Amino acid sequence: MTLLSSPMLIGKIERWPIAGSFTISRGAKTEAITVVAELRQGTVRGRGECVPYPRYGETPEATLEALLAMQIPVADGIDREALQQVMPSGAARNALDCAMLDLEAKLSGKRIWELLGRRAPAPCVTAYTISLGPPDIMAAAAAKVAHRPLLKVKLGGPGDPARIAAVRNAAPQSQLIVDANEAWTEADLEANLAACAAVGVTLVEQPLPAGQDGALAHIKRPLTVCADESVHDRASLEGLRERYDAVNIKLDKTGGLTEAMAMADAAKALGFDIMVGCMVATSLSMAPAILLTPEARFVDLDGPLLLAEDRDNALLYDDSLVYPPGPALWG
């Protein structure tokens, strides 16, 4: 990898209004709060964006503090390989790892996938998210986007069979994937999976709470079940083989693209399908994850589509088709 010569690291918290609100089983929010890392070397700048995740005890303020604590190591020339050892996985390392990659690409004048020896990403279909709500509200939201080929439906516990049936009725032609965000229990697991299978859902993401998902190993799964909160990096893969068929790779969990690429390779070797996921954030968060899409069965990088506005030089979304980033954005 390119060694960086005394770059300057700065960080900041940004707030991006969501168009309407975004609701999952753990609550609703009206803005995306991101932390941006910027590395400056002469006139060249590399950037990375992360989303602190309250589910893991992260806050924007603590994430920014952890990022800025790396100013001296960065100025001393720490590289990405060493970064993986001195920072824990999570949002702060993601922002810095992706900023390093962006700076490497800009200093070299090459696209980042060329430098990393990865397959060049191509335009791909991303899921579009339907927020959790009463069945009639979710059906109305689904009807507005029923032309999209892939919808991701947020579910949340009691009443989920009615919710998914309502969405299917409103969007009969769309492929459906479901995210329960840990809201189901062992008592309703099989009934909810059956209700999803009955309307042709392709995949259910994280039905049971992380650490309480052993029941998945003892039932016949009627559709693909994907780990999200139960999986973070390569170290967490081996223990999931009996419970899950797929893993959702998110850069804010892995701590950046460097670990995410290694995790994707390891997951494929273990026989897992790959889903590339995101938090609600700007195109700067999505851009590095697009390098994983050539290996993915499912792509869920719709975060910017849920915002009231995106940043300059944003990713191009042609309805549900998302294109690789231009160099002015990232990489």
The one catalytic residue in 12, 154, 220, 253 is: 154
Which residues make Cβ contacts (< 8 Å) with residue 197, sequence separation at least 6? 222, 223
Going from the C-alpha of 126 to that of each of 25, 123, 185, the distances in angstroms are 22, 9, 29
- Report helix angle 160-170 to 186-198, nearest 10: 20
What token pair was written down for 24? 């999952």
How far is it, in rounded angstroms, from Cα 167 to Cα 25?
A: 17
Order of strands across the sheet with 8-24? 8-24, 27-41, 44-50
In angstroms, what CA-CA distances link 145 with 153, 155, 264, 300, 318?
12, 18, 30, 15, 13
* Interatomic CA distance for residues 77 and 109, integer angstroms: 20
Distance between CA atoms of residues 148 and 320, nearest Å: 6
Determine the Cα–Cα distance for residues 126 and 299; give it in Å rounded to an integer. 5
The answer to whether residue 154 is catalytic is yes
Residue 110 is a catalytic residue: no
Contact present, 268 and 295 (Cβ < 8 Å): yes
Paired with 12 in beta bridges are 36
Beta strand 8-24 with 27-41 is antiparallel
- Among residues 110, 250, 253, 268, the one annotated as catalytic is 250
The pairs formed by 318-323 with CB atoms below 8 angstroms and a separation of 24 or more are: 318/123, 319/147, 319/148, 320/125, 320/126, 320/127, 320/128, 320/148, 320/149, 320/150, 321/123, 321/124, 321/125, 321/126, 322/123, 322/124, 322/125, 322/126, 322/286, 322/290, 323/123
Copy the structure tokens of residue 257: 């693209």
**Rounded to whole angstroms, what are the CA distances from 92 to 35, 64, 76, 206?**
8, 7, 19, 24
Q: Which residues are catalytic?
A: 154, 250
